[in-house]
């Protein structure tokens, strides 16, 4: 990559990724405005925000492999932003569940978490994401030091929980959750291979 192109990507990369990350939300609003949320809008909102939560999580996990495979360190500039957008869409996903599915009925939500395994793992993934999002500032990275990296390895656990949440939710066609599971397995496999071959 030429130095001029590298500088251009460094200057425009983050605004472009930020704008692209808002496209799913823009599309969701357009679908609602044009009356295309279907017969069950709550289900549409739940599935849409859940799908994009998992996609952004997988994109976040793919940044480091992309950097190593391409040799371009600029990929790393987008990792934090993609991770925060994953958290953003997870918050939307949970808000739909909290507000429109259960109307702030906390006792019903607690019972749901205890009774349904896919809700249990999904809620656990959401809780684990909170400290990762809260410690994504430069100040927290410096304050935590090496502990920051240890904490943020939880993203792999969150990825597994997210895939399980989707897999256990789907009752008929499981092709899409299996696709996400395959992508996650590939990313985890690459990480393990890299550690074994480059870290002793």
pLDDT digits (tens, 9 = 90+) for 157-167: 999 999 999 99
% of the chain with per-residue pLDDT over 70: 94
1 vs 42, which has greater pLDDT? 42
Instruction: Name every residue whose Cβ is closer than 8 Å to that of residue 68 and which is 6 or more positions away in sequence.
Output: 194
| pLDDT range class, residue 1, cuts 50, 70, 90 | low
170 contacts 177 by C-beta, under 8 angstroms: yes
Q: What percent of the chain has pLDDT over 90?
A: 78
Structure tokens at 170: 């789907």
Give the integer Cα–Cα distance in Å for 60 and 53: 11
Per-residue pLDDT at 2 exceeds 90: no
For the record, the structure tokens of 88 come out as 């953003």
- pTM for the whole structure: 0.92
**Reduced to 3 states, what is the DSSP secondary structure of residue 143?**
helix
Residues 61-112 pLDDT 10s: 999 999 998 888 888 889 999 999 999 999 999 999 999 998 999 999 999 9
pLDDT tier at 154 (50, 70, 90 boundaries)?
very high
- For residue 5, the model assigns a pLDDT of 61
pLDDT over 80 (residue 199): no
Question: 3-class DSSP state for residue 108?
Answer: helix
Estimate to the nearest angstrom the gap between the alpha carbon of 140 and the chain centroid: 21
Residues in the chain, total: 200
pLDDT beyond 90 at 50: yes
Q: Are 158 and 128 in contact (CB under 8 A)?
A: yes
Q: How many degrees, rounded to 5, is the angle at CA 24 between CA 23 and CA 28?
A: 115
């Amino acid at each position: 990559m030429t130095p001029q192109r590298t500088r251009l990507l460094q200057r425009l990369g983050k605004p472009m990724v930020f704008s692209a990350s808002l496209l799913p939300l823009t599309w969701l609003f357009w679908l609602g405005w044009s009356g295309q949320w279907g017969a069950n809008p709550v289900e549409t909102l739940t599935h849409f925000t859940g799908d994009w939560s998992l996609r952004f999580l997988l994109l976040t996990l793919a940044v480091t492999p992309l950097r190593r495979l391409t040799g371009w360190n600029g990929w790393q500039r987008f990792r934090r932003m993609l991770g925060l957008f994953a958290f953003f869409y997870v918050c939307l996903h949970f808000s739909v569940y909290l507000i429109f599915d259960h109307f702030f009925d906390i006792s019903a939500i607690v019972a749901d978490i205890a009774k349904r395994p896919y809700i249990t793992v999904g809620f656990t993934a959401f809780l684990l994401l909170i400290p990762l999002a809260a410690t994504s500032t430069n100040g927290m990275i410096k304050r935590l030091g090496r502990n920051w990296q240890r904490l943020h390895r939880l993203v792999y656990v969150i990825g597994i929980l997210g895939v399980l949440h989707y897999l256990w939710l789907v009752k008929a066609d499981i092709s899409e959750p299996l696709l996400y599971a395959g992508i996650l397995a590939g990313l985890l496999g690459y990480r393990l291979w890299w550690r074994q071959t480059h870290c002793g």
